[in-house]
Amino acid sequence: MTVFSGWGSRARGLFADNKSPWGPVSGPGEDEPPREGPRSPWSDPDRGGQSPSGGGATNSLEDLLRRGRERLGGGGGRSGGGGGFELPSGGLMVWVGLALVAAWLVFTSFHSIAPEERGVVTTLGRYNRTVGSGIGLTLPYPFERMQKVDVENIRNVDLGSTGTETLMLTGDQNIIDIAYSVRWNIRDPELYIFKLQNPDDTIEQVAESAMRAVIGTVTLNDAIGQRRGQIEAQVQENMQRILDHYQAGVLVQGVAIKQADPPAKVNEAFKDVTAAQQEAASYINSANAYSLQLRQKALGEAGAFDRIYAQYKLAPEVTRRRMYYETMENVLGKVDKTIIEAPGVTPYLPLPPAGRSATTPPAVQQGAAK
């Protein structure tokens, strides 16, 4: 019965401890013995068996040490014949046991938490607190556990890798080949560990679902073209909303569409559209060139005429004559001429060979100047 009452008091002490928010700060020295109690059946049955024979609860580490020393030196002291047979090695075993206890305390109570990590502490299974980076103190192992969670590291999920085709239907019932990635990190480490059975898979599924939902509302041209940024923002927002609904404790940092192309099978047709645009542009360019040329030519000719006309106006008859003679000189000076003096006489005409002369211009007739 003393065993039970002893255990009971320990357990009560334990609970009292847990209720105090300052549990781990109060120092390991005072809290140890009760904690050691439940553990003893497995870790060190010898000592567990020993405590009833010791007759009462061990209340502090000092107590334990003192008793260990007594046993070591005094050959058992109060324990009497019970532990007698293990005396020679018993002392050593106590020391080894104490060393183990000390190691256990150090390794399970002190946690170094990296700058990017948070430590989620559970006290007897129940979530107790989340501690920041640095040295985190907890009660030793079976009472408090700490899970370190990397909250700063931004994770990247790639969906629809660029090598393979991931086809999605757009709102206008076209098909798009898309590759995107989602960056996220953990916002609430305790939610992240406790609320979802499979957070990483969930994020992937939600990302795919959100992306397809958004792509399903836009047209193919929008998805390929300028609305990418808008789509990314919308997917991010949707994902965050869904994940918050799951209490995933995850923050979606961003969604990046790496590739949004028409499927390979229709890519040629899409390229042809681009080619058509280029061609259309080149049609227009050459028309513009023609237009410029023609207008300049018109202006040039009109300008020339205007100037000559201005001179002609000053002396119409003379100018007209001068121009006529100058032209005739120019023309007749450089071609073969035959003049038929007497009317009715038909001389031998040295006409050029047929074919070449088919377009021989007719004789300059009178009245050209009129």
Partner 1 sequence: MGAITRRPILAAMIALIVLVAIRLSFIVVPETKMALIVRFGAPNRVLGQSQAGINWRIPFFENTVWIDKRVRDVDMEQQQVLSTDQLRLQVDAFARFRVIDPLRLYIRARSEDRVSQALRPILGSELRNELGKRSFASLLSPEREGAMENVQRGLNRVAAQYGVQIIDVRIKKTDLPEGSPLESAFERMRTAREQEARSIRAEGAKRAQIIRAQADAEAAQTYAASFGKDPQFYDFYRAMQSYQTTFLGDGQTKPAATQIIMSPDNEFLRQFRGGAAR
Task: Please report, as residue ranges, which positions from 138 to 157 form the binding site for partner 1 (by CB under 8 A).
Answer: 142
272 binds partner 1 (CB under 8 A): yes
Which lies closer to partner 1 via its Cβ, residue 115 or residue 358?
A: 358
Min separation Cβ 154 and partner 1, Å: 23
174 binds partner 1 (CB under 8 A): yes
288 binds partner 1 (CB under 8 A): yes
Stretch of 59-67, 97-105, 110-118, 194-202 lying at the interface with partner 1 (CB under 8 A): 194-202
Answer for which of 96, 154, 287, 318 binds partner 1 (CB under 8 A) is: 287
**Gap between the Cα atoms of 176 and 164, Å rounded:** 13
Q: Are 154 and 185 in contact (CB under 8 A)?
A: yes
Which lies closer to partner 1 via its Cβ, residue 107 or residue 290?
A: 290
**Gap between the Cα atoms of 59 and 53, Å rounded:** 15
Q: Coil, strand, or helix at residue 100?
A: helix
Min separation Cβ 251 and partner 1, Å: 18
Answer for which of 16, 103, 315, 332 binds partner 1 (CB under 8 A) is: 332
Classify residue 164 by its DSSP letter: S
Rounded to the nearest 10°, the torsion over CA 286, 288, 292, 293 is 20
Paired strand residues for 181: 158, 256
**Gap between the Cα atoms of 109 and 144, Å rounded:** 8
Answer for which of 87, 92, 277, 315 binds partner 1 (CB under 8 A) is: 277
Which lies closer to partner 1 via its Cβ, residue 54 or residue 91?
A: 54
322 binds partner 1 (CB under 8 A): no
DSSP H stretches of helix in 20-130: 28-43, 45-54, 61-74, 87-109
CA 264 from chain centre, in angstroms, equals 24
Answer for which of 43, 202, 219, 253 binds partner 1 (CB under 8 A) is: 202
Both tokens of 241, joined, read 């909303």
Give the closest residue to 261 by CA, choosing from 165, 158, 157, 156: 165
Answer for which of 55, 132, 134, 225 binds partner 1 (CB under 8 A) is: 55
317 binds partner 1 (CB under 8 A): no
Stretch of 23-31, 96-104, 169-177, 253-261 lying at the interface with partner 1 (CB under 8 A): 169-177
269 binds partner 1 (CB under 8 A): yes
Task: Please report, as residue ranges, which positions from 70 to 99 form the binding site for partner 1 (by CB under 8 A).
Answer: 80-83
Give the closest residue to 243 by CA, choosing from 285, 280, 210: 210
Task: Please report, as residue ranges, which positions from 232 to 251 form the binding site for partner 1 (by CB under 8 A).
Answer: 242, 245-247
Strands 155-159 and 175-186: antiparallel
Both tokens of 144, joined, read 């408090």
Helix (H) or strand (E) holding 2: helix 2-19
Q: Are 74 and 67 in contact (CB under 8 A)?
A: no
Which lies closer to partner 1 via its Cβ, residue 8 or residue 134?
A: 8
Min separation Cβ 92 and partner 1, Å: 19
Classify residue 102 by its DSSP letter: H
Stretch of 116-124, 133-141, 148-156, 224-232 lying at the interface with partner 1 (CB under 8 A): 116-124
Which lies closer to partner 1 via its Cβ, residue 226 or residue 366?
A: 366
Paired strand residues for 200: none
Which lies closer to partner 1 via its Cβ, residue 59 or residue 209?
A: 209
**Gap between the Cα atoms of 14 and 39, Å rounded:** 13
354 binds partner 1 (CB under 8 A): no
Stretch of 25-33, 90-98, 129-137, 161-169 lying at the interface with partner 1 (CB under 8 A): 161-169
